[in-house]
Structure 1
Amino acid sequence: MSTLNTSSEKSLAPSRDAKAEHALQLACETLQIEADAISNLKQRLSGGDSSAFINAIHLVLHCKGRLVISGIGKSGHIARKIAATFASTGTPSFFLHPAEAAHGDLGMVTSQDVFIAISYSGEAGELIAILPILKRLGVKLIALTGNPHSTLAKLADLHLSVHVEKEACPLNLAPTASTTVTLALGDALAVAVLDARGFKEEDFARSHPGGALGRRLLTHVKDVMRTGNAIPQVKPDTKLSSALLEITQKGMAMTAIVDHDQRIVGVFTDGDLRRLMDKPLNFSELMIADIMRKNPHRIGPEQLAVEAVEIMEQHRINQLLVADADGKLVGALHIHDLTRAKVI
């Protein structure tokens, strides 16, 4: 009986065949090779290649035109990503296909531009073919290659090495480690330029208005606040019963109390009402001025909506009054307004 149980347990136990083990080993080796390649790039960048990299930062940073990035094949895919990274971090940039460039698209390049050419061999025919035109235009050329003695490297104003000891491909043929290193170097250059340019979160948001960060950093209080008749408000001499009617009608679970000049003097919320219920008061005769909370929290219409979220979270409130520079009521915010605007 025990023998049958043991046999059953063995049959249910997960197992890997030799092919699966080999595939997993190869995957781990690939990651290690690419990690080592980036580590070697880091060492070169902090050593002999540092001056070229710093000069590249200077060229891109002081470019009066645009950054044009080009490559063919796998290098072209990497070039597209690098161009997109630069464009989204404050450097006007675009990808130019070298084959299309030779058939008219070079008209997009001006003498004010900086051109980054990517080719691991440094001998890509499509890139070499357009170099004379770029030189004639006076375009500054940065080459990213794995061969400092290549045609592209020799003709460039600056050469940045993306050399790797070997590709992760078992045949040492398919661009793997070399494309990873090239992309990493492009990211490093973009981040260095970003920092030197003083690029901030707000700048990033302007390039990404459709994203969550864009909504958070580009949405102002005035964009989402309630205005006009939608603002619950009463005067200090209003009876509690009338104030409660205003709260109910406007659906914000609170009302602002303003003087005759429309300046905010207080606020009264559903929470304040619940706290009053335990007190022996004559509710039919109460004036809102007698029970309102004075000097309520407020925010300006030009402030960012995320600042309103911060105030609400800090003080554990769900509503916030909006006042102008003179303290006059111009709007009101409920936490739901910010949620609908996807600020939170």
Structure 2
Amino acid sequence: MIKSIVFLSTILFLTFLIGVNGQFQNSVILDQNSNYNLQWIIFNETITIQVSINKKAWIGLGWHCQGCQKDGPMENADYSIATFDENGQGYVWDCYQENDPTSQPQNDTVFKGAEDNIISFSGYQTDQYSIMMFTKKLSTGDTVGDHILVNGPVDFVWAHGQDNSFGFHGVGNAGRTTVNLATGSTNSGPDYVNWHASLMLVAFGLLMPFSIFSARFLKVFHWWWPLHYVFNGLASVCALIGFIIAIVMLDGLDFSTLHSIFGIITLCLVLVSILFGALSHFLWKPTRVGTPIFPDMFHWFVGRCTFALSIAAIITGMVLHQVPTAVIIVFSGVIALYFGVIIFIEIYKKVYPNHVDFSHGGATGYTQGINHN
């Protein structure tokens, strides 16, 4: 009875303190576009959190367990989500997200042994503003549906909708940031995803196509081999660094998505292609007649398979990380254009097998029959 009176007094004191001062202990902006403002105050073992955005939409705030940074942004996260009715009145739900990136958070009461541990809440919105506030214990004792909020660094995930219809938040409307509840400092950590994506895009979307093109169509020039060697080497280095970043980001190999499976297979094929390419180079003889199946044709075949799988890995990665559809379409169009050029040249070579155009100063350094493979 005494504990209940003390606890109720704490809640009333927090409500009074916030209502009188209109201020929280700390305030951080997690997203500049929506002005996603996270504010909080901790008193004894209780925390009151307020989130506001400059938009008429549902609001979500989640956090991971301590030491669970390797989990995906939404995986195994504890959430408080505010939805609003047509009159602008809000309801804050105590939710949990299972280890399934394709699903969405569900009410804690859906899970066996979990409870709704939000003590009090409020929420309202206007045409250009939404706000939610809730109070709960730092440690609720609910080991199924809740994670402990510590008075220190907490791995937060945030999101808001495009409107009041709860569902997919939309591209750019979510993020992940570590917030220190004791000091108010933030740390988004290394931008592993963007570094990984950039390196892989350069490796397989830029360098490897040039490497393949030079080996296939530029052998009439003396300089095709160093061009192929340098581009392929740079592509391999970028791919290897990007792969290491992915391992660090996920704390090991991951086979849970098509993107990761395609990526792992692609890197394995890169290594095999390098091996066959090296053998092809060192076993080459100027007196040979024809192109041997091993290792030369093996090298060609593995190289083409590597490029095809790398494109599949890039596109599935874009889908997984919710890259805007327009970007995916443009990238796919560029790759389609590349294949179109290849097909055109192949057909042209079949129709005009001995034609070399010198009319515009082309084919400088041309030497008939130079073939390093």
Q: Decide: shared fold, TM above 0.5.
A: no
Structure with the bigger percentage of strand:
2
Relative to its length, the structure with more helix (as a share) is: 1
TM-score, structure 2 normalization = 0.27
Q: Tell me which structure has the larger Cα radius of gyration.
A: 1
Q: TM (normalized to structure 1)?
A: 0.28
